[in-house]
A and B are shown apart, each in its own frame.
Chain A
């Protein structure tokens, strides 16, 4: 049965409006689910947990062979919260509609740039360097040594004495870049 032309025309006008709401609602749910999964992966990463646990944490990330913990090794001060700025950036992940044509819609997810996250995670002793990047490529023991100096040496003359920073090498582990790349792929497959 063929619909009358005016009915068909009216349907063509109304259907995209109805579907638009459904499409967006479905996409939004899937997007939020994936975003929460990404944030959960960041928050449950051993490096994040270890740093969040502060100066008394144990080296659950295995990056330091158990010698000390990342919070102390990087050189944060007690009370510092290096995780929240990264979390806020991840929470700021959004999507936007970029195409719409006869009921079909396309969304673009604006994932944070890896560099943006690194910039939000500066070393406490050298602002141009990122501790989050250091986790992936290696961190020197300067921060640990500076903390030791400030707590052990009132005179500040510790420069003359050799303080052994660590027994072994810092073990790099995949962190922010790996998470972002993984979710780039996952978000691109959202339908």
Chain B
């Protein structure tokens, strides 16, 4: 199937949301540390996985002050992509083209305060089951790698729900409204209030429509071109038909409700009304 309106919106919304949170909230921490070897049967046998203690590194070089990695130090020497290193920004790890499992690997990177995921799960499924590993952003004494692939909190789960078209102008111009939701799972009230405050103020923001081909990540969640700047990317797609946040409302799960879930996480919701004026089938 060729790319549809909803596909383009999903891609654009995810990239915008990530950039907006990191820019407005400086929601990241620059970190330096050891990487730990582990076995991952999903990757090719010519690679070894060395994981950092944190998932989801910042990849966007337009975030001021964020340390975007280009490689790692292997036994004290820098190894970059030209040396066969793959940086997996989503799982917070480096894949090294080696047979050795005992290398000393270190690196510097910026870790996001919140992991960001796209989800099709219902809100109740997201918040009720105690299914997430907690990947606290507070460093602990006994550090190790974080398991890949599983979703970890603190996190924000984005989804796009209903969509409807209304006639807007003669000639077939439509006002397309899409309801977007974000479920925020935070470690503490400070984090939660911060995110909700940032996105409550996102009303009237606009973001460019970036097609899936413009997504900066490859299948390993490394950068396709070795570098990515949201600012540069969005400027490539400034066709004058941006999406805009027509409305944004935030709310928190009450403390009483939270306690009845016996959940240590602080839960918030952001409801977006995203609009675009367009001709259908375009």
Q: Please, what's the 1-or-0 string for B236-273, where 1 marks a CB less than 8 Å from any CB in chain A? A: 00000000000001111110110111110000010100
Scan residues 115-159 of chain A and give those whose CB is less than 8 A from a CB of chain B. Answer: 123-129, 137-138, 140-142, 144-146, 149-150, 155-159
Cβ-defined contact, B162 with A129, below 8 A? no
Name the one of B124, B130, B251, B259 contacting A160, with C-beta atoms under 8 angstroms: B130
* A162-B129, A165-B122 as given contacts; A126 in contact with B253, CB under 8 Å: yes
Cβ-defined contact, B257 with A126, below 8 A? yes
Q: Which of chain B's residues have a CB closer than 8 A to the CB of A124?
A: 254
4 other A-B residue contacts (CB within 8 Å) besides A142-B127, A150-B260: A128-B249, A138-B162, A142-B124, A163-B128
Cβ-defined contact, B257 with A125, below 8 A? yes
Distance in Å from the Cβ of A152 to the closest Cβ of chain B? 11
* A142-B123, A145-B128, A160-B130 as given contacts; A125 in contact with B262, CB under 8 Å: no
Residue on B with the closest CB to A142?
A: B124
B179 contacts partner chain A, Cβ-Cβ < 8 Å: yes
Residues of B in contact with A (beta carbons under 8 Å apart): 122-124, 127-130, 161-162, 179, 249-254, 256-257, 259-263, 269, 271
Cβ-defined contact, B124 with A145, below 8 A? yes
* A142-B123, A162-B129, A165-B122 as given contacts; A126 in contact with B259, CB under 8 Å: no
Cβ-defined contact, B249 with A129, below 8 A? yes
A48 contacts partner chain B, Cβ-Cβ < 8 Å: no
Cβ-defined contact, A127 with B251, below 8 A? yes
Cβ-defined contact, A141 with B262, below 8 A? no
Q: Which of chain B's residues have a CB closer than 8 A to the CB of A137?
A: 161-162, 179
Distance in Å from the Cβ of B161 to the closest Cβ of chain A? 6
Q: Please, what's the 1-or-0 string for A179-190, where 1 marks a CB less than 8 Å from any CB in chain B? A: 000000000000
A146 to B127 alpha-carbon distance, docked (Å): 11
Distance in Å from the Cβ of B275 to the closest Cβ of chain A? 14
Distance in Å from the Cβ of B107 to the closest Cβ of chain A? 36
Cβ-defined contact, A172 with B262, below 8 A? no
A16 to B252 alpha-carbon distance, docked (Å): 56
Q: Which of chain A's residues have a CB closer than 8 A to the CB of B130?
A: 159-160
B-side interface mostly:
mixed
Q: Which of chain B's residues have a CB closer than 8 A to the CB of A150?
A: 260
Q: Which of chain B's residues have a CB closer than 8 A to the CB of A141?
A: 122-124
Q: Which of chain A's residues have a CB closer than 8 A to the CB of B259?
A: 156
Name the one of B250, B254, B261 contacting A159, with C-beta atoms under 8 angstroms: B261
A138 to B161 alpha-carbon distance, docked (Å): 9
Interface centre among B123, B130, B250, B252, by most chain A C-beta atoms within 10 angstroms, is B123
Q: Which of chain B's residues have a CB closer than 8 A to the CB of A165?
A: 122, 124
- 22 example contacts (A-B, Cβ-Cβ < 8 A) are as follows A124-B254, A126-B252, A127-B251, A128-B252, A137-B161, A137-B179, A138-B162, A140-B122, A140-B124, A141-B122, A141-B124, A142-B123, A142-B124, A145-B124, A149-B260, A149-B261, A159-B129, A159-B261, A162-B128, A163-B128, A165-B122, A165-B124
Q: Which of chain A's residues have a CB closer than 8 A to the CB of B251?
A: 123, 126-129
Q: Which of chain B's residues have a CB closer than 8 A to the CB of A145?
A: 124, 128
Name the one of B122, B250, B261 contacting A146, with C-beta atoms under 8 angstroms: B261
Residue on B with the closest CB to A143?
A: B257
Question: 10 shortest A-B CB distances, which residue pairs?
Answer: A128-B251, A140-B123, A125-B257, A126-B251, A129-B251, A156-B262, A141-B124, A159-B262, A142-B124, A159-B130
Residue on B with the closest CB to A150?
A: B260
Q: Which of chain B's residues have a CB closer than 8 A to the CB of A146?
A: 257, 260-261
Q: Which of chain B's residues have a CB closer than 8 A to the CB of A156?
A: 259-262
